[in-house]
Structure 1
Amino acid sequence: MSTARDLFIISMDQRSEPAVGQGDLSLALAGAELIDLIGAGAVTVDDDRIVPGGPAASEDRILGEAAALLTRQPPHERIEDWLWRRGRDLAAAYQDALEQDGELIRKRSGRLSLGSKHVEPVDTPARRGAASRWEEKEPVLTALASVVGMGDGEPSDSDEDPGLDDDAVTTVVAAVHDAVMELEAVRQRRTVENSAFANLWRGV
């Protein structure tokens, strides 16, 4: 399983309050894909740019789709731009992919709802693998989950942090954090604008 698939499954198993926003989750999933591509040697990070390398040898079709969307001609794409471009509706895409693979089933009421769909994870080896990474506080998964408000945000107890000791991975996680904060700022601005508009009509 990829980090993105594991992150999606964990987002369904965790009862975070408030619930994880689908926009936030989509940005984190795009970051998780990029980290997996870094790990596979398919890309490197040069400052804040994504530089494609060799082909990604992955059996994960949705990760393969991500690799196919990389900008291969210079100037290469900035990480922030990738997150927004690739992250558009990505949570819904992962839900569809996991449903097709039999990792999710639809319920009349579930832990995660995307629009009118209610789904929950099936007890499969993939779900248990994701849960194991989560329980072990695997650094990359924990960091990405923390960015979108899942878990306690505590780092791994291990002094040898194989994920976030990598500068490229650290750069991606930081970019996801910045993008999520930017999205929240947009939400707050819209809330203020909508409130001001409503007050105008009420004569307040």
Structure 2
Amino acid sequence: MTTAKDLFIIAMDLKHSVGQGDLSLALAGAELIDLIGAGAVAVDGDLIVPGGQPTLDDRLMGEAAARLTRQAPYERIEDWLWRRGRDLSAAYQATLEANSELKPRRSGRLPFGSERVELVDTPARRRAADRWKEKEPVLTALASVVGIGDERSGDEPGLDDEAVTTVLAAVHDAVMELEAVRQRRAIENAAFANLWRGP
């Protein structure tokens, strides 16, 4: 069980509207935090320094570990989040579907209504729900960054690991940067539309 998988499950379970880009960045951060916990990496300032190569029994976590930059100059946390985070929420959805942890459901009464997926009641889903109910600090902080649950600050009790706090701050900054890009594009698109519309 990984923090990233738990975060994905919580985002789906609470049916909270989370941007795919935001969630993907948070999932990459969650993977990095679990890699720190497994001793696979350490954080030196804003750099990810590879450590040992522990056996990881989760395929996506194994992929994350395999994609680490193992030679100096090491990768910055922010660069890792953007690189690893690309389409990561779709990868988690595909993995859960392949493992029969998500099932299709149709919305509306028509047989050709839009198809969506919903979580199956599995031990993994119950474990994620338990972590959420217990307000596990890292999971709650990551969820908060993407707008799920209560706002939390990085210095709350339970977040006493400096490396974890550094990763959480980087995730927060990356999500804010993504939102700024979205707003800039919206303004540019509106200006372009007005230009074509004329006075």
Alignment TM-score, normalising by the size of structure 2: 0.93
Listed as ranges, the gaps of 5+ residues in structure 1 are 111-115
2-structure distance, mates of 1:127, 1:178: 29
Corresponding residue for 1:113?
A: none
Which residue of the other structure, out of 37, 44, 47, is the alignment partner of 1:46?
44
Task: Flag as ranges the 4+ runs of structure 1 deviating above 3 A.
Answer: none
2:186 alignment partner, one of 183, 191, 200: 191
Aligned residue number for residue 13 of structure 2: 13
What percentage of residue pairs aligned between the two structures are identical?
75
Give the structure 2 partner of residue 92 of structure 1: 90
Distance in 2, Cα, partners of 1:176 & 1:190:
21
Q: How many Å separate the matches in 2 of 1:6 and 1:109?
A: 25
How many residue pairs get aligned? The number is 192
Query: Hey, what's the Cα distance between the residues in 1 that align with 2:95 and 2:182?
Result: 28
The residue aligned with 1:139 is 137
Equivalent-residue separation in structure 2 for 1:202 and 1:178 (angstroms): 36
Does residue 81 of structure 1 match 2:91? no
Deviation at 1:160, TM superposition (A): 5.3
In the alignment, the residues of structure 2 paired with residue 85 and residue 64 of structure 1 have an alpha-carbon distance, to the nearest angstrom, of 16
TM-aligned CA deviation for residue 118 of structure 1: 1.5
In the other structure, the counterpart of 1:167 is 162
Asked if 1:72 is matched to 2:67, the reply is no
**Matched-pair contact (CA < 8 Å) for 1:44–1:53:** yes
Q: Structure 2 matches for 1:110-125, cutoff 5 A?
A: 118-125=116-123
Secondary structure (helix, strand or coil) at the match of 2:106 reads coil
Cα distance, 1:117–1:80 mapped onto 2, change above 3 Å: farther
Other structure's SS at 1:195 match: helix
TM-score normalized with structure 1 length = 0.90
The CA deviation string for residues 71-113 of structure 1, in whole angstroms up to 9 with x for no partner, is 0000000000000000000000000111111211111239xxx
C-alpha separation in 2, matches of 1:154 and 1:184:
19
Q: Aligned equivalents of 1:189 and 1:154: distance in 2?
A: 27
Sort the Cα spacing of 1:174 and 1:122 in 2 relative to 1 into closer, same or farther, 3 A: same
Return the offset for 1:171.
0.2
Write the distance in 2 (CA, Å) between the matches of 1:190 and 1:56: 42
Provide the residue aligned with 1:22 in structure 2.
20
1:178 to 159, 169, 173: 173
Distance 1:103 1:63 in 2: 17
Alpha carbons 1:56, 1:64 under 8 Å: kept: no
The aligned amino acid for 1:174 is: A
Give the match for residue 111 of structure 2.
none
